[in-house]
Copies of this chain bind each other. A is one copy, B any other.
Protein backbone atom coordinates (compact mmCIF):
# COMPACT_ATOMS: atom_id res chain seq x y z
CA UNK A 1 0.00 0.00 0.00
CA UNK A 2 1.09 3.58 -0.71
CA UNK A 3 0.85 6.40 1.82
CA UNK A 4 0.88 10.04 0.74
CA UNK A 5 2.72 12.55 2.92
CA UNK A 6 2.77 15.99 1.32
CA UNK A 7 2.34 19.71 1.84
CA UNK A 8 -0.18 19.91 -1.05
CA UNK A 9 -3.04 20.87 1.28
CA UNK A 10 -6.09 18.72 1.73
CA UNK A 11 -8.26 20.86 -0.50
CA UNK A 12 -6.23 21.54 -3.58
CA UNK A 13 -5.66 20.04 -7.03
CA UNK A 14 -2.28 18.34 -6.55
CA UNK A 15 -3.02 15.24 -4.46
CA UNK A 16 -5.68 14.21 -6.97
CA UNK A 17 -3.19 14.26 -9.84
CA UNK A 18 -0.83 12.01 -7.88
CA UNK A 19 -3.73 9.67 -7.11
CA UNK A 20 -4.63 9.55 -10.82
CA UNK A 21 -1.06 8.50 -11.73
CA UNK A 22 -0.97 5.85 -9.00
CA UNK A 23 -4.37 4.48 -10.02
CA UNK A 24 -2.98 3.92 -13.51
CA UNK A 25 0.49 2.67 -12.52
CA UNK A 26 -0.46 0.45 -9.58
CA UNK A 27 -4.08 -0.61 -10.08
CA UNK A 28 -5.53 -2.36 -7.08
CA UNK A 29 -2.93 -0.97 -4.70
CA UNK A 30 -4.49 0.96 -1.81
CA UNK A 31 -3.51 4.64 -1.79
CA UNK A 32 -3.91 6.22 1.62
CA UNK A 33 -3.70 9.90 2.53
CA UNK A 34 -1.39 10.00 5.55
CA UNK A 35 -1.51 13.78 5.49
CA UNK A 36 -1.39 16.60 2.95
CA UNK A 37 -0.91 19.11 5.75
CA UNK A 38 2.84 18.81 6.28
CA UNK A 39 4.40 22.24 7.02
CA UNK A 40 4.24 23.97 3.63
CA UNK A 41 7.70 24.42 2.06
CA UNK A 42 9.34 23.72 5.47
CA UNK A 43 11.46 20.64 4.80
CA UNK A 44 13.02 20.29 8.24
CA UNK A 45 9.79 20.48 10.22
CA UNK A 46 8.19 18.13 7.70
CA UNK A 47 11.04 15.63 8.07
CA UNK A 48 10.41 15.47 11.81
CA UNK A 49 6.65 15.17 11.37
CA UNK A 50 7.18 12.33 8.89
CA UNK A 51 9.48 10.55 11.35
CA UNK A 52 6.81 10.78 14.05
CA UNK A 53 4.04 9.48 11.78
CA UNK A 54 6.27 6.75 10.34
CA UNK A 55 6.26 4.98 13.71
CA UNK A 56 2.71 3.92 12.95
CA UNK A 57 3.09 2.72 9.36
CA UNK A 58 2.61 -0.98 8.71
CA UNK A 59 5.57 -3.11 7.59
CA UNK A 60 6.14 -2.92 3.84
CA UNK A 61 4.39 0.43 3.50
CA UNK A 62 5.59 2.70 0.69
CA UNK A 63 5.37 6.41 1.49
CA UNK A 64 5.43 9.00 -1.23
CA UNK A 65 6.78 12.10 0.55
CA UNK A 66 6.66 15.48 -1.15
CA UNK A 67 7.69 18.74 0.50
CA UNK A 68 9.79 20.05 -2.28
CA UNK A 69 10.45 23.79 -2.53
CA UNK A 70 13.51 23.03 -4.70
CA UNK A 71 11.59 21.16 -7.39
CA UNK A 72 13.09 21.91 -10.78
CA UNK A 73 16.52 22.69 -9.28
CA UNK A 74 19.48 20.31 -9.14
CA UNK A 75 18.35 18.39 -6.04
CA UNK A 76 18.18 14.65 -6.64
CA UNK A 77 15.31 12.19 -6.23
CA UNK A 78 15.80 9.32 -3.79
CA UNK A 79 14.24 6.14 -2.45
CA UNK A 80 15.00 5.01 1.11
CA UNK A 81 14.28 1.68 2.74
CA UNK A 82 14.26 2.11 6.52
CA UNK A 83 13.42 -0.82 8.82
CA UNK A 84 11.34 -2.52 6.15
CA UNK A 85 9.37 0.53 5.06
CA UNK A 86 9.96 2.49 1.87
CA UNK A 87 10.04 6.23 1.26
CA UNK A 88 10.29 8.03 -2.09
CA UNK A 89 10.89 11.76 -2.41
CA UNK A 90 13.34 14.59 -2.96
CA UNK A 91 16.90 14.39 -1.58
CA UNK A 92 16.47 17.62 0.36
CA UNK A 93 16.49 16.21 3.89
CA UNK A 94 12.80 15.24 3.97
CA UNK A 95 13.58 11.51 4.29
CA UNK A 96 16.71 11.96 6.38
CA UNK A 97 15.24 11.89 9.91
CA UNK A 98 13.27 8.71 9.31
CA UNK A 99 16.40 7.22 7.75
CA UNK A 100 18.73 8.30 10.56
CA UNK A 101 16.43 6.90 13.25
CA UNK A 102 16.11 3.49 11.58
CA UNK A 103 18.17 0.56 12.78
CA UNK A 104 18.78 -0.47 9.18
CA UNK A 105 18.57 1.67 6.06
CA UNK A 106 19.50 1.69 2.39
CA UNK A 107 19.37 4.66 0.03
CA UNK A 108 19.11 4.90 -3.73
CA UNK A 109 19.34 7.82 -6.10
CA UNK A 110 16.59 7.62 -8.71
CA UNK A 111 18.30 7.83 -12.10
CA UNK A 112 15.22 7.16 -14.24
CA UNK A 113 13.35 10.07 -15.78
CA UNK A 114 9.88 9.91 -17.35
CA UNK A 115 9.36 10.96 -20.95
CA UNK A 116 7.43 14.00 -19.74
CA UNK A 117 8.93 15.58 -16.64
CA UNK A 118 7.40 18.91 -15.66
CA UNK A 119 9.62 21.45 -13.94
CA UNK A 120 7.20 21.99 -11.07
CA UNK A 121 5.58 18.65 -10.20
CA UNK A 122 8.00 15.77 -9.66
CA UNK A 123 5.59 14.29 -7.10
CA UNK A 124 3.28 13.35 -9.95
CA UNK A 125 5.75 12.76 -12.76
CA UNK A 126 8.73 11.13 -11.07
CA UNK A 127 8.11 10.03 -7.47
CA UNK A 128 4.64 8.53 -8.04
CA UNK A 129 5.70 6.11 -10.83
CA UNK A 130 8.67 4.93 -8.74
CA UNK A 131 6.50 4.49 -5.64
CA UNK A 132 4.06 2.48 -7.77
CA UNK A 133 6.90 0.20 -8.92
CA UNK A 134 7.97 -0.47 -5.34
CA UNK A 135 4.39 -1.00 -4.13
CA UNK A 136 3.90 -3.58 -6.89
CA UNK A 137 6.89 -5.41 -5.44
CA UNK A 138 9.27 -4.58 -8.28
CA UNK A 139 12.21 -2.73 -6.93
CA UNK A 140 13.30 -0.53 -9.80
CA UNK A 141 16.96 -1.57 -9.87
CA UNK A 142 17.34 -0.29 -13.40
CA UNK A 143 15.97 3.07 -12.34
CA UNK A 144 18.23 3.72 -9.34
CA UNK A 145 21.80 3.72 -8.13
CA UNK A 146 22.82 2.84 -4.59
CA UNK A 147 23.75 5.88 -2.55
CA UNK A 148 26.20 6.04 0.34
CA UNK A 149 24.48 8.95 2.05
CA UNK A 150 21.70 11.47 1.51
CA UNK A 151 22.69 14.92 0.26
CA UNK A 152 20.98 16.71 3.16
CA UNK A 153 20.85 14.92 6.49
CA UNK A 154 19.10 16.46 9.49
CA UNK A 155 20.20 13.51 11.66
CA UNK A 156 18.37 11.41 14.24
CA UNK A 157 18.07 14.07 16.95
CA UNK A 158 15.11 16.13 18.08
CA UNK A 159 14.02 19.45 16.58
CA UNK A 160 13.32 22.16 19.14
CA UNK A 161 10.62 23.80 17.04
CA UNK A 162 6.89 23.67 16.49
CA UNK A 163 6.38 21.22 13.62
CA UNK A 164 2.58 21.22 13.33
CA UNK A 165 -0.46 23.07 14.66
CA UNK A 166 -3.39 20.71 14.64
CA UNK A 167 -7.06 21.28 13.89
CA UNK A 168 -7.85 21.77 17.59
CA UNK A 169 -5.09 24.32 18.15
CA UNK A 170 -2.51 22.03 19.77
CA UNK A 171 1.14 22.61 18.82
CA UNK A 172 3.26 19.52 18.12
CA UNK A 173 7.00 19.94 18.64
CA UNK A 174 9.97 18.01 17.29
CA UNK A 175 10.92 17.06 20.86
CA UNK A 176 10.40 13.45 21.86
CA UNK A 177 8.74 13.07 25.21
CA UNK A 178 9.57 9.48 26.08
CA UNK A 179 12.74 10.34 27.99
CA UNK A 180 11.73 13.72 29.41
CA UNK A 181 11.04 13.85 33.14
CA UNK A 182 7.57 15.15 33.87
CA UNK A 183 9.16 17.94 35.92
CA UNK A 184 10.61 19.40 32.72
CA UNK A 185 9.34 22.79 31.68
CA UNK A 186 9.07 23.77 28.02
CA UNK A 187 9.76 27.33 26.89
CA UNK A 188 7.73 28.64 23.98
CA UNK A 189 6.37 32.04 23.00
CA UNK A 190 8.26 33.53 25.95
CA UNK A 191 6.45 31.37 28.49
CA UNK A 192 7.39 28.57 30.86
CA UNK A 193 5.06 25.68 30.27
CA UNK A 194 4.69 22.84 32.76
CA UNK A 195 3.55 19.27 32.27
CA UNK A 196 0.01 18.06 32.82
CA UNK A 197 -1.52 14.71 32.06
CA UNK A 198 -5.00 15.95 31.22
CA UNK A 199 -6.81 19.20 30.54
CA UNK A 200 -8.59 19.22 33.88
CA UNK A 201 -5.29 19.41 35.79
CA UNK A 202 -4.71 23.03 34.76
CA UNK A 203 -6.61 26.28 35.17
CA UNK A 204 -8.80 27.57 32.38
CA UNK A 205 -6.80 28.97 29.47
CA UNK A 206 -3.47 27.83 30.89
CA UNK A 207 -0.90 26.20 28.60
CA UNK A 208 0.65 22.83 29.42
CA UNK A 209 2.64 20.13 27.65
CA UNK A 210 1.92 16.45 27.39
CA UNK A 211 3.17 13.36 25.61
CA UNK A 212 1.18 12.92 22.45
CA UNK A 213 0.19 9.59 20.91
CA UNK A 214 3.07 10.13 18.44
CA UNK A 215 5.47 10.34 21.40
CA UNK A 216 6.21 14.00 20.79
CA UNK A 217 5.84 16.88 23.19
CA UNK A 218 2.62 18.76 22.49
CA UNK A 219 1.83 22.20 23.84
CA UNK A 220 -1.84 22.57 24.54
CA UNK A 221 -4.24 24.55 26.67
CA UNK A 222 -7.39 23.70 28.51
CA UNK A 223 -9.27 26.13 26.33
CA UNK A 224 -9.55 25.48 22.64
CA UNK A 225 -7.02 27.25 20.42
CA UNK A 226 -4.92 28.38 23.37
CA UNK A 227 -1.78 27.94 21.27
CA UNK A 228 -3.03 30.13 18.48
CA UNK A 229 -3.93 32.79 21.04
CA UNK A 230 -0.34 33.14 22.23
CA UNK A 231 0.91 33.20 18.66
CA UNK A 232 2.63 29.82 18.33
CA UNK A 233 3.23 28.85 14.72
CA UNK A 234 5.11 26.20 12.76
CA UNK A 235 8.83 26.90 12.84
CA UNK A 236 8.80 28.79 16.14
CA UNK A 237 11.53 27.68 18.54
CA UNK A 238 10.83 25.82 21.75
CA UNK A 239 13.27 25.17 24.57
CA UNK A 240 13.66 22.74 27.43
CA UNK A 241 14.01 24.22 30.88
CA UNK A 242 14.08 22.47 34.21
Contacts and interface: CB of A to CB of B under 8 A. Distances in A.
A192 interface: no
A41 B167 CA distance: 11
A44 interface: no
A224 interface: yes
Given A3-B20, A213-B125, A11 B36 contact: yes
Nearest to A165: B12
B166 A13 contact: yes
Interface residues of A, number: 55
Interface in A121-142: 121, 124-125
A206 interface: no
Contacts of A20: 3, 32, 34, 56-58, 61
Nearest to A3: B20
Interface of A: 1, 3, 7-17, 19-21, 23-24, 27, 30-37, 40-41, 49, 53, 56-58, 61, 72-73, 118-121, 124-125, 164, 166-168, 197-198, 200, 210-213, 224
